[in-house]
Amino acid sequence: METKEKETKAFIDEICSIPGGEKIRLCIQCGTCSASCPNVNKMDYTPRQIIAMARAGMKNEVLSSNSMWCCASCYLCTVRCPRDIRPTELMHALESMAIKYPSKNASITTPAMYASFSDFAYSLGNVPDVGFMALYYLRSNPLRALKMLPVALSLLRHKRLFLKTRRLKPEAERQLKTIVDKAEELAGRI
Ligand code: SF4
Ligand code: SF4
């Protein structure tokens, strides 16, 4: 088998091995997912194109694109897909792969947002408004944090941001940690 063919097969197998990616071989390229997607105009490639490119072994183009990060998890594509492919899960599977991909798109800051959210949820059982935004900007773009400071102060003044946070009850906190542990295990981060 030629090297390119081997790489293509390896990429498809990799996607298929992640929960949500198993069914891309069944896609008939009808485009219903792309036509249903409310965020398609923000994506580098539509959901239908992403599936076609994945099947063509275009790993770099797929994993460095912004498409999966623009997915709002509305599930319209999933409920309308005639092949039961579940493109929403595929988008999340590609996010997991993209985080570990060395040539990932450095301008995409969504992973920093996800990490900041789950770090606070895990350690505090809550996500404090100010702390979450501060951590997100520090991780993604500290200069932007300074620019956003006047906005944060204005929101605090108008009681649209809160410094105090309410902790979850111990049992709810334990359940939340179990969910985060499982999510990280599925994403291969533990
Ligand atoms: S709706 Fe389903 S079958 Fe049609 S292009 Fe999208 S994923 Fe493929
Ligand atoms: S779940 Fe994501 S990819 Fe599917 S239609 Fe909604 S925003 Fe688009």
Do both 92 and 118 map to the same domain?
Answer: no
Alpha-carbon distance of 3 to 6, in angstroms, equals: 5
Q: Which residue has the CA at smallest separation from atom 2 of ligand 2?
A: 71
Q: Using a 6 Å cutoff on CB, does residue 24 contact ligand 1?
A: no
Query: How many percent of the chain have pLDDT more than 70?
Result: 95
3-state SS of the chain: helix, strand, coil percent to 5?
65, 0, 35
Do both 90 and 25 map to the same domain?
Answer: yes
* Each residue's pLDDT tens digit, 38-72: 999 999 999 999 999 999 989 999 999 999 999 99
Domain that residue 164 falls in: 110-186
Residue of 20, 184, 185 whose CA lies nearest to 92: 20
Q: Using a 6 Å cutoff on CB, does residue 179 contact ligand 1?
A: no
Ligand 1 centre distance from Cα of residue 130 (Å): 40
* Predicted TM-score of the model (pTM): 0.81
Q: Provide the pLDDT confidence category of residue 16 given band limits of 50, 70 and 90.
A: confident
Ligand 1 centre distance from Cα of residue 48 (Å): 6
- Work out which ligand 1 atom sits closest to the CA atom of 47: 6
Q: Among 100, 119, 141, which residue terminates a domain? A: 100
Do both 47 and 86 map to the same domain?
Answer: yes
Please tell me the number of the ligand nearest to residue 24's CA.
Answer: 1
Provide the pLDDT for residue 190: 40
The arithmetic mean of pLDDT across residues 7-26, rounded, is 83
The arithmetic mean of pLDDT across residues 161-177, rounded, is 84
* Each residue's pLDDT tens digit, 99-150: 888 776 778 889 899 889 888 888 888 888 888 988 999 999 888 888 888 9
Q: Which residue has the CA at smallest separation from atom 5 of ligand 2?
A: 37
Do both 119 and 168 map to the same domain?
Answer: yes
Residue 105 lies in a domain: no
Q: Among 70, 100, 130, which residue terminates a domain? A: 100
- Work out which ligand 2 atom sits closest to the CA atom of 74: 6
Average pLDDT, the chain: 88
Give the SS3 label for residue 63: helix
Residue 69 lies in a domain: yes
Do both 91 and 8 map to the same domain?
Answer: yes
